[in-house]
């Protein structure tokens, strides 16, 4: 795989793609699934699959989906809320993905993981072997944190961290993070004078440009994305950050990146 990476001249040459999509893209403000955005995402993954790319989807949204279904009978602490809402929402999320991918004839497989699976060599190798077998058999892995079994101190920072670990573990060629902004700006994205940074080269530090904030439903923010992207680029994995609700964004950042605003960590 490393030899293949050295031969690649552009993002469109990527063979194995990890796509991370955040809760703000997948859910509506009321917490219900954003079926329009999910359907568009599935359309694009199917299009890339038809071109010969392998794809792994790291999907947030379970907790947000669950929150829109049920109001707890009593006040719950943060951990109990995540466990309850994720147990309800993950079913809804994976069932919707299953139905959407089935329209294209693709089979999906659910992968729920925890942080300790990456610290034990045996668990790490088992997890990698399982996902490799899924890919070899044409199954699209859909990965999320197992929030029902996770405690606060043992949780991933967010699914950006998880997607970075998955991309490194599976020797991906590129990680595409679909967020609610176009990428990394040289100032506050809300400031009209701020400009998008299109390319970040290996070793280049853009952390000073990142505004400290996070999405409405997510746990992380652009700072986490920037940190994960920097680490992966040092390991030879490109990272692209783009806005997930742009029409055709995933296909464009892979096949026609000049046509769409984004930030690429080389």
All domains in the chain, ordered by first residue: 13-265 (3.40.1160.10)
Could you give the 3-state DSSP secondary structure of residue 74? Answer: coil
Output 14 or 51, whichever has higher pLDDT.
51
pTM of the model: 0.87
When the pLDDT of each residue in the chain is averaged and rounded to a whole number, the result is: 86
Token duo for residue 110: 């659910």
Distance CA 228, CA 239 (A): 9
106 pLDDT higher than 80: yes
Burial class (CB in 10 A: 0-12, 13-18, 19+), 154: exposed
Look at residue 147 and give its three-state secondary structure: coil
Neighbour count for residue 80 (Cβ, 10 Å): 12
Residue 259 pLDDT > 80: yes
Which has more confidence, 206 or 166?
A: 166
> 61-70, 161-170, 221-230: which has the highest mean pLDDT?
161-170
Task: Please state, in angstroms and rounded to a whole number, the distance separating the CA atoms of residues 234 and 202.
Answer: 6
How does pLDDT run across 144-180, given as a tens digit for each residue? 988 887 666 556 767 889 999 999 999 999 999 999 8
pLDDT of 211: 60
Give the SS3 label for residue 149. Answer: coil
CA-based angle 156:176:188, to the nearest 5? 80
| Residue closest to 175 by CA, chosen among 220, 239, 252 | 239
Position 219 confidence tier, pLDDT thresholds 50, 70, 90: very low
d(CA 248, CA 163): 21
Of the ranges 20-24, 45-49, 152-156, which is most confident? 45-49
Q: Which residues partner with 20 through β-bridges?
A: 58, 177
């Amino acid at each position: 795989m490393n030899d293949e990476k050295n031969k690649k001249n552009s993002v469109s040459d990527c063979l194995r793609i990890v796509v991370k999509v955040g809760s703000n893209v997948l859910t509506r403000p009321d917490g219900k699934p954003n079926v329009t955005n999910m359907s568009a995402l599935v359309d694009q993954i199917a299009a890339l699959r038809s071109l010969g790319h392998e794809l792994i989807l790291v999907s947030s949204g379970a907790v947000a989906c669950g929150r829109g279904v049920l109001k707890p009978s009593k006040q719950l602490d943060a951990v109990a809320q995540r466990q309850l809402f994720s147990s309800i929402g993950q079913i809804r999320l994976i069932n919707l993905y299953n139905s959407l991918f089935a329209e294209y004839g693709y089979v999906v497989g659910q992968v729920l993981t925890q942080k300790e699976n990456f610290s034990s060599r045996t668990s790490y190798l088992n997890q990698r072997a399982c996902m490799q077998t899924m890919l070899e058999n044409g199954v699209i892995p859909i990965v999320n944190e197992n929030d029902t079994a996770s405690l606060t101190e043992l949780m991933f920072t967010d699914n950006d961290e998880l997607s970075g670990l998955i991309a490194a573990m599976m020797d991906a060629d590129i990680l595409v993070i679909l967020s609610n902004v176009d990428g990394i700006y040289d100032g506050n994205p809300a400031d009209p004078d701020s400009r998008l940074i299109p390319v970040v080269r290996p070793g280049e530090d853009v952390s000073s440009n990142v505004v400290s904030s996070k999405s409405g439903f997510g746990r992380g923010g652009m700072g986490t994305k920037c940190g994960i992207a920097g680490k992966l680029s040092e390991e030879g994995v490109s990272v692209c950050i783009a806005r997930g609700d742009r029409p055709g964004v995933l296909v464009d950042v892979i096949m026609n990146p000049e046509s769409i605003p984004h930030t690429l960590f080389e």
